[in-house]
A and B are shown apart, each in its own frame.
Chain A
Amino acid sequence: MVKHIKIEALRMLRNKRYAVFVVAFPLGFYLLYSNLWGDQVDETTGVKASVILMVSMGAYGALASSIMSTAVPWAQERESGWLRQLQITPLPSWSFIVTKLIVSMLLTLPALLLVGLAAVLTQGVSLPPGEWAGLVVAMWLGVIPFAALGLTIGSLTRPDTAQPLAMIGMFGLALLGGLWIPLDIMPETMRTIAKVLPSNDYATIGWRIVAGEAPPASAVLGILGWGVALVAFAIFAFRRATVRA
């Protein structure tokens, strides 16, 4: 399994699309936005925009990574015969989905850590060690629902359908969840939608942590609920995709 994880991670890190959407995008936009508005201060919490943007772009990178590294590669593996190739080895099929999930989570780390590093180096962001630790752990574990969503897409669709679905899921969740545009300036209906999305819960937990507050129960419960539902769905879809007919 360790070897499987290594090989899967290696292959995504060599993938250009992954590098662009998942590492270059959030990093580039963080640098751009924080140079434009980084010094603005949120009136209610007193947190600088450079810190809030760090959470937003880190969240986007992690979310994008977890969907990108699952949906399309997995759909391709099923279609190309790579899955069959592995099904006729002693590799048990539960190990397959667990590996995919672990790899997907590991691959969110470059985006999270690079955006954080850029925030520290270019914007002089500093947080108490406890907040850094809490932020990284929360942002890392919080990607589970998105990785599960990606795996579900990959299990249920062919690569040419998985590709647009993954893109829609990735940008839709980021945009509607308030990662690109603050919720406050969104129309009422969009704000209502955002409130039920796991991406908003995910980012909210991060925003509250950097404001020195405990994450709201609603967001934690929200992401837990989505997590349980999507993981269950991913397992169901995975079994359906790998069943021996």
Chain B
Amino acid sequence: MNAISFSQVTRAYGDVLAVDGLDLDIPAGRTVALLGPNGAGKSTSINMLLGLLRPTSGQIRIFGETPERAIARGDVGAMLQEGTLIPELTVAETVGFVRSLYPDPLPLDEILRMADLTDLAGRRAGRLSGGQTQRVRFALAIAGAPRLLILDEPTAAMDVESRRAFWDNIRAYAAQGRTVLFATHYLEEADENSDRVVVIARGRIVADGTAAEIKSGVGGQAVSFTMGTQSVAGLDTLPGVIGVEITSGRAVLRTSDPDATVDALYRKTTLDVRGLEIAGADLEDAFLALTQES
């Protein structure tokens, strides 16, 4: 069964289409990244998925139910972009209250342990640091043992170390067979923590696959070498080449077939090729290529 299904979902703010005919199915048990630049429609999609916003048209289902029903059944937990806690309540009180709202929650000790909060259980929320507050918000998201966990740019306020610890916790949670959907504009985060990346830009899906598939779909690899002052004429007609860039005396040929390109570079040109390097395009290149199209 699909954990999440968007069919032809559109959301307009006045004349602007924040989400434009989104079709997306996410099978249960997957960890999926929703990757896109700011303003791509990630948060709008997530807020619709959580029933906080209504789609202008189209239909959204969570485990076959409307978002409202799925939330009422306790199937969904989420960490939204912002949200503060009640300053007068302790971590344990806050988490204990939210878990009590769900029909079949995780034990309190386990939630605190999974969010690295055991030592902070008795501290009032008003005295927590930003990173600690984020951990409490993660604890609230998993408190009800939801089958679907949704995270909207969860690591935006975290430093590198807390980010790593945070993703370890998410992976542990997902490993129990649960579905995780997270929005991010960090490419690395999408690459490292998901088994599928959905790239959205201007409210539409522009790519969908594993991080590796997305990389190879966009100009695969890059062949680069030192040009010096030689003429660039003819480089763009070499086999496989789809783009040529010259920066400070170095040529970078974007190619779908690096073997053919290198072969032709040596045999069919008279260039003096030095310092040759072949590199896989990184996800960032792929991402930029995808989101800047049109």
Q: Which A positions have Cβ atoms within 8 angstroms of B? A: 3-4, 7, 10-12, 14-15, 77, 80-82, 84-92, 244-245
Contact = CB atoms under 8 A, between A and B. Distances in A.
Given A4-B97, A89-B98, A244 B89 contact: no
A89 B101 contact: yes
A4 B71 CA distance: 18
A228 B140 CA distance: 37
Given A88-B71, A90-B71, A10 B82 contact: no
A10 B89 contact: yes
Contacts of A3: 96-97, 100
A129 B3 CA distance: 62
B102 A88 contact: no
A84 B83 contact: yes
Contacts of A91: 101
The range of chain B's interface size is 20 to 34
A82 B83 contact: yes
Given A3-B97, A88-B76, A82 B85 contact: yes
B52 interface: yes
Interface in B181-210: none
Given A10-B89, A244-B51, A244-B53, A90 B101 contact: yes
Contacts of B239: none
Contacts of B76: 88
The secondary structure that dominates the B interface is loop
Interface of B: 50-54, 71-74, 76-78, 80, 82-86, 88-89, 93-94, 96-98, 100-103, 137, 140, 144
The 5 A-B residue pairs whose C-beta atoms are closest, nearest first, are: A81-B83, A11-B88, A14-B88, A80-B84, A89-B101
A87 B80 CA distance: 11
B103 to A, nearest CB: 7
A15 B101 contact: no
Given A85-B140, A244-B54, A11 B101 contact: no
B86 A245 contact: no
Contact of B78 (A14, A88, A244): A88
A3 B99 CA distance: 11
A15 B52 contact: no
A225 B96 CA distance: 40
A4 B77 CA distance: 18
B209 to A, nearest CB: 29
Contacts of A10: 88-89, 93
Contacts of A82: 83-86
Nearest to B68: A244
Contact of B83 (A12, A15, A85): A85
Nearest to A243: B54
Contact of B93 (A7, A12, A77): A7
Contact of A89 (B71, B82, B84): B71
16 contacts: A3-B96, A7-B94, A11-B86, A81-B83, A81-B84, A82-B83, A84-B83, A86-B98, A86-B101, A87-B50, A87-B51, A88-B51, A89-B102, A90-B101, A244-B53, A245-B53
Contacts of B97: 3-4, 7
Nearest to B137: A85
A83 B81 CA distance: 14
